[in-house]
Structure 1
Amino acid sequence: MARHALDLHLALHIPAGRSPLRQRIATALVEQIRMGRLGPGDALPSTRSLATELGVARSSVVDAYDELAAAGYTTARPGSGTRIAAGADTAARAGAASHVTSSGVAPVMRRASHEPTPAWDLTPGHPDPSLISATDWRRAWRAAAAAPIASAASGPHGHPELRHALAGHLRRTRGIVIDPSELVVVPGVASALRTITSAAGLAGRDIAFEEPGYVEAREVFEMCGVRTRAVAVDGNGLDPGSLRSTDSAVYCTPAHQYPLGARLPVARRARLVQWALRTGSLLIEDDYDGEFRYDVSALPALRGIDGGQDSVAYIGTASKMLTPALRVAWLLPPPSLRDAVADALERSGESVCAVTTVALARFIESGALTRHLARAARTYSARRSALVAAFGRHSAGDELAGIEAGLHLVVRLPDGTDDLTVAAALRDRGVAVSPLSSFFTGPATASGLVCGYARLPETQADAVAELVALAIADVAGHP
C-alpha cells in the first residue's frame, strides 16, 4: 500500500562530490528507492519540507525532483504531488547491481550543508515553464479529467490519443512520416534508453557514445550493462569515420550535440545512416531539443533520411519543449525491433500516467503546442541573442559554441584555464553554470562553461556576462 508523504521519515544523506547539489539529492532519493524505503506509489515530501529538513535551498530540491521525473523515477500530477513511479524500484536495483566505483568503495555520505540559491541559474537542461499558456494548459487537463477511462489505456500499445497527436507533430516539425501505431510512449528519456537497450540486446556490447556527451544517458546505458566507447566529436558533431564495425549501436544528438551544440551536417547524417545499414548497427537518435533553432534552416532527423526507418531508434521528449515534470517521452523503434520493444516494456512495467498523456494529446491537437513552441522560440532566441551580445561586450571566454539551436551555449575558456575553478568562482558570485569538463568520460580535452539561457531575462544578460568575464579573468590570472 502506498504511504502518504507525511508518514515518511527519510534518513536522507547526500553524497559528497563535485556534481551539482540537485544531482546529489536525486541520487540519495534513488538510493532510498533501491533500499526499499520508498516504493512505487509513495508520495515524496513537499519540496519545501525536504529542503527544510536538509538545510538546503528549496530550488535545489525542486531541480532534484525535476531530474527524477526526467529520469523516469517519479511521476507528478496536479493536486497529487510527486510519487514514485511504477518500475522505479526495479530500475534502482538494477543500477545498484551494475555500478561499481573505480575504488570499489561506496562514496562517503554526509548531510548536505546549506548552499545559497544562485541569483542566476544557468545550468543547462531547463526550459521556462512560465511561457506555457495557463489557459491552454488548464483546458487540456480539464478535458483529460473528463475523458472516458478507455481513452487513457496504458501499456506498450496504449495512449492512442497521444500517439496520434505525436505522429502529426513529428510529421509537421521533424519531417518524420509514420503511423501512430509505430510510436511507444514511455516515462522519460531514461526509460526509452532502457527499453531500446533491452529490446536490441545491447547488454555486454559496445555502444559508440559522443565525447563529451550526455552524462545521464551514458549512466543509463552502463547501468544496463552496456559498454560505452567514447568517440570524440568535432565542430560538426559526430564523425562517422570514427565508428567501428564492432559498435553495435551509436548514441547521438544530431540536432544539437550535447553539450557542445554542433548541428550534424546533412552529409554526415547520410553517411551515418549508410554506415548503420552497412554494418547492421543501431542508431539511437536523441532529439532532445530539436524544436528550437535560430537563424538557420531545419535539418532532417536521422529517422527521416532515406534508410533511417530501418536503422534509427528515434527518441523525443516533452521535457525541453514544455517541462520535465510531465515525465513523458516517445520512442520510435525500427520495424525489426517493434515487437521486442513492446515485450521489454511489458517486462519492465514502466508506464506513463494515462491522464497526463490524454492532457498532452489535447494540448497538441488544440494547436496550443504549436502556439507555445512559436512563442517559446521567439523568447529563447531573444534571450540567446542578449546573452551572446553581452558576452561579446565583456570579452567573456575565447569563443562561443552551439548558439544556433537548443537552450544552451558553451563559453570556451583559454587554454589551461580550469573550468571547475571558474564554475566555483561563479557560484560564489551567484551564478550557476556547468563546467564542460564534467561531460567527458575520460580526461577533458577542452575547457568551458555550459550555460543555459532559457530562464535568463534579457535585461539580466549583461550582469551575468560581466560576472562570467570577471571570474574567468580571476582564474586565468590576468585582469
Structure 2
Amino acid sequence: MARHARDVQLTLTLPPTGAALRHRISEAIIDAIRLGRLHPGDALPPTRALAAELGVSRAGVVEAYDELCAAGYACARPGSGTLIAPGADAAAAAGAESHVSDRPTPVPDTEPTPTAPTWDLTPGCPDTGLISPDDWRRAWRAAAAAPIRPRSPGSTGHPELRHALALHLRRTRGIIAHPDELVLVPGVDSALRTLAAAADLAGRDVAFEEPGYRNARRTLELSGARPRPIAVDADGLDPAALRETDAAVYCTPAHQYPLGARMPVTRRAGLVARAAASGTLIIEDDYDGEFRYDVSALPALRSIEGGREHVAYLGTASKILSPSIRMAWLLPPPALLARVHESLRRTSENCCGVTGLALAHFIESGALTRHLARASRTYSARRAALVGALRSRPTLMGRPGVDLVGIEAGLHVVLRLPDHADDDAIATELGARGIAVPGLGPYRTDAAGPRGLMCGYGQLPETQADAVAGAIAEVVGRHLAR
C-alpha cells in the first residue's frame, strides 16, 4: 500500500433496490472497485462529504464503511481515513459481497427433485403416526421441566433412561442387567465403532452374516475390522461355521437382516457355548426384537447362561419409535465395560440429555408399553394384508424359486426370487412406478447370493396392500418371463 493514500473523485450510483442504505452504499463501492475506479490503497471520501454528495444521512455512510471494514474491503486508520484494503480488487472481481444478500438467488438448472414414492416399502421404517401425541408431548414437557444440566451427560450419564431401559429389557427380552451396565450411544453405528475399539477388532476377522446389514458391515470395515461372510440359512447363522481366528461374530438372531430368519434356541445356545469356549465376542443386534407375530418370544443371546460374559447386546429406538431420536443402547460384557467408556470419552459420541430424559419418561409412564402393543397390532394387520395379497397372485407365487420368508417378526418380509432374477432392475422399475422397495443386491457381498425384494410394511396401509401386490406381481412376472 502506498505511504500516502491517493485521493480519488468518487461518483457513486446507488443500486435502485429496497435494501438497507448501508448495503446499497457498500455495494456501490464494491462495484467501483470491480470496475477499476477504486484501487487498493485509495482513500474513500470523508463520510460527511459522501453523504452530502449522495443526499443521504451520514449515519448510513458510516455504517457502510464499517461494513466494508468488517468484510475486509476497507481498513480505517487514524489520521488517514478509510482506505481500500489490499486484495479488495481480487475479492470484488470474484463477486464476494460484504453482506448476505437479501436479493433472490437464481436457481440453477438442475435435475428435478425426485418425488416421494406413492408407496414406501423401505424396510425397517416404523410408522411414527402410531405414537400417541399426548404421551409424546407429555414426555417432552417433563424433560423440558427438568433443571438444565451444566454439561453433556457423557457415557456414564442418563441415569433415568438407563434405569428405565433396564426394566424394559427385563420385561420384554428377558435380559437382567444393572442400569450401570447400560451405555447410551447415538445409534448402532456408534455402538459398533465403540465395540471395535474396545475389543481391539482392528485387523481381525469378524464373522458376519451373508447377506447382512450393510451399514454394520461398512462401520466395522471403517473401524479396521475384517468382516468374514458366513452364508445364512433358514435358521440364520450357523455356529459351526465359525473359526478359531474369528475375534467376534455379528448377528441378528431375533430377525435376521435382511432374510428374516429366527435363530432357534439350539443354535442360540450353541453360539453362546462356542463363544465361551473360544473367547469370541458375540455382537447381538436386536434391532426389532420387540415385534413378533403368531410366534412366542425366544430368549436374547444375552439372556442365555454365559451370555452376560460374552455377548454385547445392541438395542435401538429407531425401529420401535423413530430413527430421528438417535438413541441406542449397548450392554457390553463386564470385561469390556471400562474400555467402552474410555473409547466413548475419546470420541465424545454422546446422546442428547434432554432426549434421554424424554425417552425415560416415555418408558416409565407406560407409554412405550402401550405404543408397542398398539404398533404390534397394526403391523400384524399390515403384514397379513401384504402377505395375503402377494400369496393371492398365482402368476407370482406359482413360479419356481418364488417364496415369502421372514414373516414371523420385524417390519418387513422378503419376496425370494429365482437365482437368475435381476432384483436390482426389478426394484428400479418398481421405483419408477412409485413403489420404493429395495432388492437384496446392496446386502450381499457374494455375486451368487440370494435374490429377492425387501418388502417393508410398517408404513403400508392395509387398504393399499392389494394394489402394491398387483404391481409387484406384474413387474416381477414380466422380468422372470424374459
TM-score category of the 2 structures, normalised to the smaller one? 0.7 to 0.9
Distance in 2 (CA, whole Å) between partners of 1:131 and 1:176 is 27
Deviation track 1:366-408 (CA, whole Å, cap 9, x = no partner) reads: 0000000000000000000000000011133511000000000
Match of 1:401 among 391, 401, 405: 405
Deviation track 1:405-442 (CA, whole Å, cap 9, x = no partner) reads: 00000001134111111111211221111101221012
Match of 1:471 in 2: 475
Deviation track 1:299-334 (CA, whole Å, cap 9, x = no partner) reads: 000000000000000000000000000000000000
Contact 2:152–2:350 under 8 Å retained in 1: no
Match of 1:424 in 2: 428
Q: Which amino acid aligns with 1:447?
A: R
Match of 1:447 among 447, 451, 467: 451
CA 1:130/1:151 → structure 2, altered by over 3 Å: closer, same or farther?
Answer: farther
Distance in 1 (CA, whole Å) between partners of 2:364 and 2:312 is 25
2:305 matches 1:301: no
2:147 matches 1:143: no
Q: Tell me, what secondary structure is at the counterpart of 1:319?
A: helix
Distance in 1 (CA, whole Å) between partners of 2:285 and 2:340 is 17
Q: Tell me, what secondary structure is at the counterpart of 1:155?
A: coil
Q: Which amino acid aligns with 2:466?
A: D
Distance in 1 (CA, whole Å) between partners of 2:393 and 2:363 is 41
Distance in 1 (CA, whole Å) between partners of 2:448 and 2:175 is 36
CA 1:278/1:112 → structure 2, altered by over 3 Å: closer, same or farther?
Answer: farther
Deviation track 1:118-157 (CA, whole Å, cap 9, x = no partner) reads: 2111011200000000000000000000112359861111
Q: TM-score, normalised by structure 1?
A: 0.76
Q: Tell me, what secondary structure is at the counterpart of 2:294?
A: coil
Distance in 2 (CA, whole Å) between partners of 1:382 and 1:238 is 29
2:334 matches 1:330: no
Match of 2:132 in 1: 133
Distance in 1 (CA, whole Å) between partners of 2:111 and 2:131 is 33
Match of 2:414 in 1: 410
Match of 1:240 in 2: 239
Deviation track 1:203-246 (CA, whole Å, cap 9, x = no partner) reads: 11110000000000001001111111000000000000111000
Deviation track 1:158-192 (CA, whole Å, cap 9, x = no partner) reads: 00000000000000000001110000001011111
**Superposition misfits of 4+ residues, deviation over 6 angstroms:** 52-55
Q: Which deviates the most, 301-310 or 434-443?
A: 434-443
Count of residues in Structure 1 that have an aligned counterpart in Structure 2:
372
* 1:21-32 alignment, distance < 5 Å: none
Q: Which amino acid aligns with 1:310?
A: E
Where structure 1 has 5 or more consecutive residues not aligned to the other structure, the ranges are: 1-51, 56-110
Following TM superposition, by how much is the alpha carbon of 1:54 offset from its aligned partner in structure 2, in angstroms? 9.6
CA 1:447/1:361 → structure 2, altered by over 3 Å: closer, same or farther?
Answer: same
Following TM superposition, by how much is the alpha carbon of 1:470 offset from its aligned partner in structure 2, in angstroms? 0.2
Q: Tell me, what secondary structure is at the counterpart of 1:213?
A: coil
CA 1:350/1:153 → structure 2, altered by over 3 Å: closer, same or farther?
Answer: closer
Match of 2:439 among 415, 426, 435: 435
Contact 2:260–2:407 under 8 Å retained in 1: yes
CA 1:216/1:119 → structure 2, altered by over 3 Å: closer, same or farther?
Answer: same
Distance in 1 (CA, whole Å) between partners of 2:354 and 2:116 is 34
Match of 2:282 in 1: 283
Q: Tell me, what secondary structure is at the counterpart of 1:417?
A: coil
Q: TM-score, normalised by structure 2?
A: 0.75
Match of 2:371 in 1: 372
Deviation track 1:58-98 (CA, whole Å, cap 9, x = no partner) reads: xxxxxxxxxxxxxxxxxxxxxxxxxxxxxxxxxxxxxxxxx
Contact 2:313–2:330 under 8 Å retained in 1: yes
Following TM superposition, by how much is the alpha carbon of 1:113 offset from its aligned partner in structure 2, in angstroms? 5.4
Q: Which deviates the most, 402-411 or 412-421?
A: 412-421
Distance in 2 (CA, whole Å) between partners of 1:477 and 1:399 is 17
Match of 1:254 in 2: 253
Distance in 1 (CA, whole Å) between partners of 2:223 and 2:418 is 38
Following TM superposition, by how much is the alpha carbon of 1:336 offset from its aligned partner in structure 2, in angstroms? 0.3
Distance in 1 (CA, whole Å) between partners of 2:107 and 2:411 is 33
Match of 2:224 in 1: 225
Distance in 2 (CA, whole Å) between partners of 1:149 and 1:115 is 41
Q: Tell me, what secondary structure is at the counterpart of 1:149?
A: coil
Contact 2:136–2:362 under 8 Å retained in 1: yes
Where structure 2 has 5 or more consecutive residues not aligned to the other structure, the ranges are: 1-105
Distance in 2 (CA, whole Å) between partners of 1:405 and 1:337 is 31
Following TM superposition, by how much is the alpha carbon of 1:114 offset from its aligned partner in structure 2, in angstroms? 3.8
Q: Which amino acid aligns with 1:413?
A: L
Contact 1:435–1:447 under 8 Å retained in 2: yes
Larger radius of gyration: 2
Contact 1:152–1:159 under 8 Å retained in 2: no
* 1:61-72 alignment, distance < 5 Å: none
Distance in 1 (CA, whole Å) between partners of 2:163 and 2:108 is 43
Deviation track 1:4-39 (CA, whole Å, cap 9, x = no partner) reads: xxxxxxxxxxxxxxxxxxxxxxxxxxxxxxxxxxxx
Q: Tell me, what secondary structure is at the counterpart of 1:209?
A: strand
Q: Which amino acid aligns with 2:478?
A: D
Q: Tell me, what secondary structure is at the counterpart of 1:469?
A: helix
Following TM superposition, by how much is the alpha carbon of 1:117 offset from its aligned partner in structure 2, in angstroms? 2.3
CA 1:152/1:176 → structure 2, altered by over 3 Å: closer, same or farther?
Answer: farther
Q: Which amino acid aligns with 2:390?
A: F
CA 1:272/1:135 → structure 2, altered by over 3 Å: closer, same or farther?
Answer: same
CA 1:141/1:382 → structure 2, altered by over 3 Å: closer, same or farther?
Answer: same
Q: Which amino acid aligns with 2:301?
A: L
Q: Tell me, what secondary structure is at the counterpart of 2:454?
A: strand
Match of 1:15 in 2: none
CA 1:400/1:115 → structure 2, altered by over 3 Å: closer, same or farther?
Answer: same
Contact 2:260–2:409 under 8 Å retained in 1: yes
Deviation track 1:308-366 (CA, whole Å, cap 9, x = no partner) reads: 00000000000000000000000000010010001000000100010000000000000
